[in-house]
Amino acid sequence: MATMLMAPSCSRTAQKAAPDDDFNYHVDRFADIEVLRYKVPDFDSLTLNQKILVYYLTEAAIWGRDILWDQNNASNLDMRDLLEAVYTNYSGDRNDADYKAFETYVKQVWFGNGIHHHYSTDKFVPEFSRAFLEEQIMALPEGTAPDNTAELVELIFNPTLDAKRVNQAEGADLIATSANNMYEKGVTQKEVEDYFNSIKKPNDLTPISYGLNSRIRKENGKIVEDRYRLGGLYTEAIEHIVANLDSAKAYAENPAQKQIIESLINFYTTGDLADFDKYSIEWAEDTASQVDFINGFIESYGDPLGMTGSWESIVNFKNIPASERTEILSSNAQWFENNSPVDARFKKEKVKGVSAKVITAAILAGDAYPATPIGINLPNANWIRAAHGSKSVTLENITQAYDAASHGDGFNEEFVIDQPTRELLDNYLFITDNLHTDLHECLGHGSGKLLPGVDPDALKAHGSTIEEARADLFALYYLADPKLLEIGLLDNPDAYKAEYYKYILNGMMTQLMRIEPGKDVEEAHMRNRKLIAEWCYEKGKDANVIELVKRDGKTFIQINDYQALRGLFGELLAEIQRIRSTGDYDAAQNLVETYAVKVDPELHKEVLDRYATLSIAPYKGFVNPVYTAERDANGKITDVKVSYTEGYPEQMLRYSRDYNGLKKH
Ligand code: ZN
């Protein structure tokens, strides 16, 4: 599972910029997108062997790019050829309105890894004329345009063709109405479901991840799976991935890591999903290596049926000092459990902290590029997680880049009540926000227990909202605890106030910018934040704990009593844990319906209007650094250098030119 940061500036409003930080995080801005750059701090502190290992793994990562493009839509690779040909051959006026709209469109397609938006999965709408594009195509050098150019042009301008990449509207045939290329056109949802039902073993306690690495088509009226593997579908790209994995293997940090790489190569060779499970188990159990990576068909959000994995890769290495933070929390897990404000009946006698590690991303690729998750929790197979553990990681150099880039975007000046509070956020929000995530992930979700006989699914549709609220409240309650100073994770007893202020501001106001006018709050994390903030506002009303202050027609949050707010977080945590432990569906529903769903239309409009004046891009993504291997006269790598100067179109064009294994013509 991946943790996405949808609109960074609302969940992280500020950070303390490093004093010597003249790194330029901003790369490009178009449509609803901002492209940023991230640093890879401490790359130079890796050993030469580790650097070479990272280098080959990053090559293996970039080689998978075209697989994802083709999975997203059958026309994507040809479309990219056509658009890039026009883009690079254009010799007209660059201020021409049609050209500017065309340039935006090309940048959007690069960002979406195809013709659909990465998040909404709707097809991009061109704002240049068809005549403009046709004129440019006519002017292309002989043999540059793909053979199916006429169809591609029609696909751009006909809104009814391949309108949505992943359709999840209830009642529709999800396969027939989705434009991805994981299923051949003409295959129906029912045929696919019948097929998988017929091959699934009943009562299988260790099921393979059915459909993860295949494209479905029909042959003589029967469903068949074409596997993504060496010698099978996408073999031209997979050959390059495997060759680089093979080179990486020689530089593995230890025998276990070497074995993991061998198992992954074996899976790419056989395409057998039992081999994928073997690889996943070895990967989950390796906690000793500093360098780590995922590479393959992992997350299934791109398939409306949630089975086929979209190709992705992230190469990373452990941030050792930052990981100490989560290790300290995990080693104190029992103390936190014993001292929480919940009823003793609902506490775990023996609690085990999840050892989440903090990592530095070295490259983002496939479905993790340019838009990327900030956290990953894998493997996805539940039985492997239960029996062999899982890895939960935070990509701290990515969150750091989001934070640094949002610095000075005007958000705090617009929404934070006064200068002292803004200073508090500048000084302590980055560290307390990270600690909040650590407490939530390492301790919050793992705390507490169900009473005997309580159905874990008793809270039904409200289950995830209540579960997220439980983990958030656990984190909020302990952020203000002197224990964090005692174990050395905070150095100021007032630091927690930064996270408290941001949490209430976000929960009551600023997260509303992601909701369209007239709509309710639906997403579980957003409901949870609203539930907590609104509940505390209401329960603290008599004591004036949280106040809504009006100034020049604008609403501001003022927190008058932070310690009382901590008391309210503790009270709500006790109640939420009771609801979860006893499976009290009615109480869950009542809390959610009272505090988490309905939006005050006046406040909503105000937030949207104020936000609109800031011109902050709703979606962000990244260009990668460039790794260059320096070689001696015999071709042996003597060092790997990292640079941060490549621009967004330059990187996209270079990847298309140098890593185009699947090109058909
Ligand atoms: Zn959570």
Mean pLDDT, 10 residues at a time, the chain of 665 residues:
50 38 90 96 96 98 98 98 98 97 98 95 97 98 94 98 90 94 95 95 92 97 97 97 98 98 98 98 94 96 92 96 88 94 94 78 98 86 82 88 87 96 94 90 88 88 91 97 96 97 97 88 90 98 97 97 98 98 97 96 96 89 98 97 97 97 66
Q: Ligand 1 center to residue 525 CA distance, Å?
A: 8
Residue ranges with strand state E in 503-570: 546-551, 554-559
What is the model's pLDDT at position 664? 58
Cα–Cα distance for residue pair 146/169, rounded to 1 Å: 34
Q: Ligand 1 center to residue 209 CA distance, Å?
A: 24
What is the model's pLDDT at position 17? 41
Cα–Cα distance for residue pair 556/504, rounded to 1 Å: 11
Q: Ligand 1 center to residue 344 CA distance, Å?
A: 23
Q: Ligand 1 center to residue 204 CA distance, Å?
A: 28
Q: Ligand 1 center to residue 648 CA distance, Å?
A: 33
Q: Ligand 1 center to residue 163 CA distance, Å?
A: 33
Note the helical H segments in 158-308.
189-199, 235-249, 255-270, 273-285
What is the model's pLDDT at position 8? 35
Half-sphere exposure of 57 (CA within 13 A, CB side): 31
The CA-based dihedral angle spanning residues 4, 7, 8, 12, taken in that order and rounded to the nearest 10 degrees: -110
Cα–Cα distance for residue pair 651/648, rounded to 1 Å: 5
Q: Ligand 1 center to residue 469 CA distance, Å?
A: 8
Crossing angle between the packed helical segments 648-658 and 76-89, to the nearest 10 degrees:
120
Q: Ligand 1 center to residue 282 CA distance, Å?
A: 25
Judging by beta carbons within 10 Å of its beta carbon (0-12, 13-18, 19+), is residue 138 exposed, middle or buried?
A: exposed
Q: Ligand 1 center to residue 439 CA distance, Å?
A: 10
Under DSSP, is residue 287 helix (H, G, I), strand (E, B) or coil? Answer: coil
What is the model's pLDDT at position 150? 97
Starting at the edge strand found earlier in the chain, the sheet holding 26-30 runs: 26-30, 33-37, 619-623
Q: Is the separation of the CB atoms in 165 and 180 below 8 Å?
A: yes
Q: Ligand 1 center to residue 335 CA distance, Å?
A: 21
Cα–Cα distance for residue pair 477/571, rounded to 1 Å: 10
Judging by beta carbons within 10 Å of its beta carbon (0-12, 13-18, 19+), is residue 246 exposed, middle or buried?
A: middle
Cα–Cα distance for residue pair 23/339, rounded to 1 Å: 43
Q: Ligand 1 center to residue 472 CA distance, Å?
A: 7
Q: Ligand 1 center to residue 577 CA distance, Å?
A: 15
Q: Is the separation of the CB atoms in 581 and 449 below 8 Å?
A: yes
Q: Ligand 1 center to residue 576 CA distance, Å?
A: 14
Residues 6+ apart with CB under 8 A from 249: 258, 261, 262, 265
What is the model's pLDDT at position 641? 97
Q: Ligand 1 center to residue 371 CA distance, Å?
A: 20
What is the model's pLDDT at position 10? 31
Q: CA 130 → CA 94, 100, 152, 194, distances in Å?
A: 18, 14, 12, 43
How does DSSP classify residue 233? B
Q: CA 115 → CA 127, 164, 214, 402, distances in Å?
A: 14, 10, 22, 26
Q: Ligand 1 center to residue 464 CA distance, Å?
A: 9
Instruction: Identify any residues that bridge with 640 across adjacent strands, giving them in sequence order.
Output: 629
Q: Ligand 1 center to residue 607 CA distance, Å?
A: 26
Residues 6+ apart with CB under 8 A from 305: 174, 175, 189, 192, 193, 211
Q: Ligand 1 center to residue 417 CA distance, Å?
A: 29
Question: What is the pairing mode between strands 626-631 and 637-643?
Answer: antiparallel
Q: Ligand 1 center to residue 437 CA distance, Å?
A: 9
Question: What is the pairing mode between strands 637-643 and 373-378?
Answer: unpaired
Q: Ligand 1 center to residue 43 CA distance, Å?
A: 30
Q: Is the separation of the CB atoms in 486 and 375 below 8 Å?
A: no
Residue in 236, 254, 237, 245 with CA at minimum distance from that of residue 55: 245
Q: Ligand 1 center to residue 117 CA distance, Å?
A: 26
Q: Ligand 1 center to residue 440 CA distance, Å?
A: 6
Under DSSP, is residue 158 helix (H, G, I), strand (E, B) or coil? Answer: coil
Q: Ligand 1 center to residue 513 CA distance, Å?
A: 22
Q: Ligand 1 center to residue 382 CA distance, Å?
A: 17
What is the model's pLDDT at position 19? 42
Q: Ligand 1 center to residue 281 CA distance, Å?
A: 23
Q: Ligand 1 center to residue 3 CA distance, Å?
A: 9
Crossing angle between the packed helical segments 149-157 and 130-138, to the nearest 10 degrees:
160
Q: Ligand 1 center to residue 444 CA distance, Å?
A: 8
What are the backbone dihedrals phi and psi of residue 519, each rounded to the nearest 5 degrees, phi first? -90, 160
Specify the DSSP element, H or E, that contains 656.
Answer: helix 648-658
Q: Ligand 1 center to residue 74 CA distance, Å?
A: 35
What is the model's pLDDT at position 388? 86
Q: Ligand 1 center to residue 434 CA distance, Å?
A: 13
